[in-house]
Each structure stands twice: as C-alpha cells, then as structure tokens.
Amino acid sequence: MDTSLVLQNLLTPPVLFFFLGVLAVLLGSDLEIPAPLPKLFSLYLLLAIGFKGGLELQHSGISGPVLPTIAAAVAMSLLVPLYSFLVLRLKLDSFNAAAIAGTYGSISAVTFITAESFLETQHLHHDGFMVAALALMESPAIIVGLLLVKLAAPQKRPRQEAMRWGAVLHEALLNGSVYLLVGSLLIGFLSAANSPSSVEKMLPFTDKLFYGALSFFLLDMGIVAAQRVRDLKEAGSFLIGFSILMPLFNAGVGALLARGLGLDPGNALLFVVLCASASYIAVPAAMRMTVPEANPSFYISTALGLTFPFNIIVGIPLYMGLVNALIPSAG
C-alpha cells in the first residue's frame, strides 16, 4: 500500500473537511449544517457532475472503450448485488440482505467525485464517459435488489401491490437523484454541441465552484457518517466486516475488468471506485419505499458509516496503487 498516495489524498481540503465533520461528532461539537442546505450541495454536485460529463462526452464522442466500459459497469451493478446477497444471507434475512446487496451494487457519486479530484491532483487524465457509467449503475442495482426480495422473501407480503413492477421501475429510473444526474448529462451533451458560448457561461458555476462545494458537502457527510457509527455496533461485526471486505473484493474485480477493457489509469481508477462504492443517496430512498421490512439503519450505516469513509480516506489511494500495479501508465 502506497502510503505517500494515502497521505497526498488525506491532506486535501475535501478529505480534511470530511475529517472535521467526523471529529465534530466525536468531540460533541454542536456544529450543524441544517436541512435543506446539504440537499442544496447534493443537488448542485449531481447537476455539475452530470453537466461536465455531458460536455466531455460530446467532445470525446462515443467510440473506443466507451460502450464496452459502460456495458461492463452495468454488468457489475447487476452482478455485485447477486453475490453480495449470497454472502449477506449467511447472517441476515432476505429483506435486509436484498436491501444491502442493492446498495453495494449501486454507486456513490460523492466517492466518484472525490476520486476525480484526487486524479486531478495526480495530473491523471480521465474521460467524460465515466460519468455516463456512473449514471447508468444506479438503477440496475435497485432493480436487482427488489428482484431478490421478490424471489427470496416469504411468499405472502401484506401489501404485495407495493411491489408492482411499474412502481419499482419508476423508483429505479425516475428517482430524483438518478433523474437529475442523467438529465444534466444530456443537457451538457446537447449544449456543448449547439451552444458553446452558453457552455462557457455555465463553467464558473459548474466548474470553478465545484471543489469548494464538494469540500463543504463533505463536512456535512463527515458529520452524518460519524452519527451512523453508533448504528454500526447494532449491526454487528459481520456487517462491519462486510462493509470493508466487500468493497475491497469489488475493487479487485473492477481493477481486473478495467485492465481487460484497456482503460488508462485515470479511467481505471474511476471504474474501480464505481465498483467499490455503495449508494447512500438513491438506493436507501428506494429501499425504504419498496422493502420497508428491511432495517434502514443497516443499509445506511454500512454504506455511509463505514464504506464511504473507508473509500474516501484510504480506498481511493489504495485503489490507485492497485491500478498502478496492474495497468502500466502510458506516459
């Protein structure tokens, strides 16, 4: 493990503000970022990352590794929940196992963004189509999670109609955060083709502010993640182990796939981070609706209380080391 990479990641404003938030909770400070301010930053980050991805996708075009990479990403978002479910069923009932499995098949946009920022400090190139992969990995995992419930859960559920496929697909595809991300991607794509001068005028908002807004949001994420640590005790050592080992395993699979796809180191890191991260935005909201039998504190505290901090703090530089070992830099 390349400790200099870890240190380089650690001493940047986004990660330090994340720590500041965690520490606020541990020390008992009353620092608080009241609702709906975190929502403002969350909406902004989704809009900006989508828009920037759309611009880059327009410039790079849809060729070369684009489609295979996106296909591989979607495949991972279908596969990860399946094998996660099998592991989780060792200790948990079908409802909880399916909800957590879906969470780990999906992605964390903030982890992705932090990895992008890390790449920029490393002066490593990455492509806009990775944002398309990000956008397309959210929904399939939700659907697989719910499919697992339908197949594996006790036959008679009181409100079976809540599981109508229409409702599930609706939740998976039109969930606010998925919708905003995909919509902004399309808007970036269309604007870049038709109105370069208007794109220019968007950049101070979507580009220049981005890093600072990410740092501010991570301050809140640090607070929220640390508040979840208490729940982890309730979740027990099995889930704690799962929250670290499953991302590591997924990262390994992701790195091999990235190598097979011929991705360059920057895109490879992002691909690995997509595989290794777990959703705490779109998926919990979907699961609460469609698998109310599952305990939210399980799927939120694993994804947000442990996997997210792990990825932000040591995961990203660790995966960079892995990528560097597997994929020789072109330079």
Q: Which residues bind another protein (CB under 8 A)?
A: 30, 32, 34-36, 38-39, 41-42, 158-159, 162, 175-177, 220, 223-224, 227, 280-282, 284-285, 288-289, 292, 296-297, 300
CA angle 23, 219, 28 (to 5 degrees): 30
- Minimum distance between the CB of residue 269 and a second copy, rounded to whole angstroms? 17
Is 8 one of the binding residues for a second copy (CB under 8 A)?
A: yes
Q: Which residue has the tokens 């859960």?
A: 153
Selected from 163, 209, 244, 314, the binder of a second copy by CB under 8 A is 209
Contacts with 98 (C-beta within 8 Å, 6 or more apart), sequence order: 81, 85, 145, 146, 148, 149, 152, 153, 291, 294
Give dist(CA 159, CA 222) in Å, integer.
37
Cβ burial, residue 135 (10 Å; 0-12/13-18/19+): buried
Q: Which is nearer to a second copy, 156 or 200 (CB)?
A: 200
Q: Which is nearer to another protein, 55 or 99 (CB)?
A: 99
Is 176 one of the binding residues for a second copy (CB under 8 A)?
A: yes
Residue 79 contact among another protein, a second copy, none, beta carbon within 5 to 8 Å by kind: none
Residue 68 contact among another protein, a second copy, none, beta carbon within 5 to 8 Å by kind: none
What is the distance of C-alpha 4 from the center of its chain?
Answer: 25
Is 4 one of the binding residues for a second copy (CB under 8 A)?
A: no
Residue 180 contact among another protein, a second copy, none, beta carbon within 5 to 8 Å by kind: a second copy
> Distances in Å between the alpha carbon of 62 and those of 36, 113, 172?
37, 22, 25
- Minimum distance between the CB of residue 60 and a second copy, rounded to whole angstroms? 20
Q: The tokens of 238 are what?
A: 């099995």
Q: The tokens of 55 are what?
A: 């611009």
Query: Are the C-beta atoms of 274 and 137 separated by less than 8 Å?
Result: yes
Write out the residues near a second copy by the rule CB under 8 A.
Answer: 7-8, 11-14, 16-17, 20, 23-24, 27-37, 39-40, 43-44, 47, 51, 117, 120-121, 170, 174-177, 179-180, 183-184, 186-187, 190-191, 193-195, 197-199, 201-202, 204-206, 208-209, 211-213, 215-216, 219, 285
